[in-house]
Amino acid sequence: MRIKKGDTVQIISGKDRGKIAKVLKVFSKIEKILVEGVALRKKHQRPRKQGQKGEVVTLPSPIHVSNAMLFCKNCNRGVRVGYQILEDGLSRGKAGKKIRICKKCKNEI
């Protein structure tokens, strides 16, 4: 999966199309992600202690990973992701490290 926790993504389909938000959690086995402020649902929560009132809580629900694209700050839009293996001259002591790059501008994401 190309999207990781903490990434900024742009939603490309569904009712929240066009929103840019941060990934809170990744469920790799079912290929879903939890995105902040996207696909919100309301949950009725019963009172836990005596004297406490029940409440309606708004929580994000997971969306499929294909409905989001990684957001590139340089291009200022959602982009496809490529990979590049760093060589000796490109980085200081990070030879052989695999990084994610933007397919459009070729910069590191």
Is residue 54's pLDDT more than 60?
A: yes
* Contact status, residue 98 vs residue 85, Cβ threshold 8 Å: yes
Q: What is the mean pLDDT of residues 10-29?
A: 96
- pTM to 2 decimals? 0.81
Beta bridge partners of 100: 83
Helices first, then strands: H and E counts in the chain: 0, 10
Q: What is the pLDDT of residue 11?
A: 97
Domain ranges of the chain: 8-79
Please write the tens of the pLDDT for every residue from 81-97.
999 988 765 556 666 78
CATH classification code of 8-79: 2.30.30.30
Q: What is the pLDDT of residue 96?
A: 77
Q: What is the DSSP letter of 93?
A: S
Q: What is the pLDDT of residue 70?
A: 96
